[in-house]
Amino acid sequence: MKYRNLGTTGEKLSAVGLGCMGMSFAYGPGDDTESIATLHRALDLGINFWDTADVYGFGVNEELISKVLVPNRDKVFIATKFGFRQKEGGGTYFDGSVAHMKNSVEASLKRLKIDTIDLYYAHRIDPNVPVEEMVGAMAQLVKEGKVRYLGLSEASVASIRKAHAVHPIAALQSEYAVITRGVEKEILPAIRELGISLVPYSPLARGLVTATVLDKSQLAADDFRRTLPRFDEANWDNNQRLAAGFGELAVAKGITPAQLALGWVLAQGEDIIPIPGTKKRKYLEENAGAADVVLTAGDLQDIEALLKKYPNTGERYNEGSMKLVNN
Q: Do 125 and 159 contact (CB within 8 A), yes or no?
A: yes
State the catalytic residue, choosing from 3, 27, 56, 121: 56
Q: What is the DSSP letter of 326?
A: -
Pairing type for strands 84-86 and 77-82 reads: unpaired
Name the 3-class secondary structure at 106: helix
Helices (H), 2-116: 32-45, 60-69, 98-112
Query: What backbone phi and psi angles, to 5 degrees, belong to 47?
Result: -85, 100
Q: Can you tell me the distance from the alpha carbon of 213 to that of 290, in angstroms, rounded to the nearest whole number?
A: 20
Tally the C-alpha atoms within 13 A of residue 291's C-alpha that lie toward its C-beta: 22
Cα dihedral across residues 179, 185, 187, 190: positive or negative: positive
Query: Based on C-alpha coordinates, what's the Rg of the chain?
Result: 19
Decide if 201 is catalytic.
Answer: no
Angle CA(304)–CA(309)–CA(314) in degrees, nearest 5? 90
Q: Do 197 and 271 contact (CB within 8 A), yes or no?
A: yes
Q: Which amino acid is at 263?
A: G
103: Cβ–Cβ under 8 A, 6 or more apart, which residues?
none
Measure Cα distances from 46 to 20, 50, 98, 133, 291 in Å: 16, 11, 35, 37, 11
Q: Can you tell me the distance from the alpha carbon of 173 to that of 153, in angstroms, rounded to the nearest whole number?
A: 4
Neighbours of 254 (CB within 10 A): 8
| Residues identified as active-site | 56
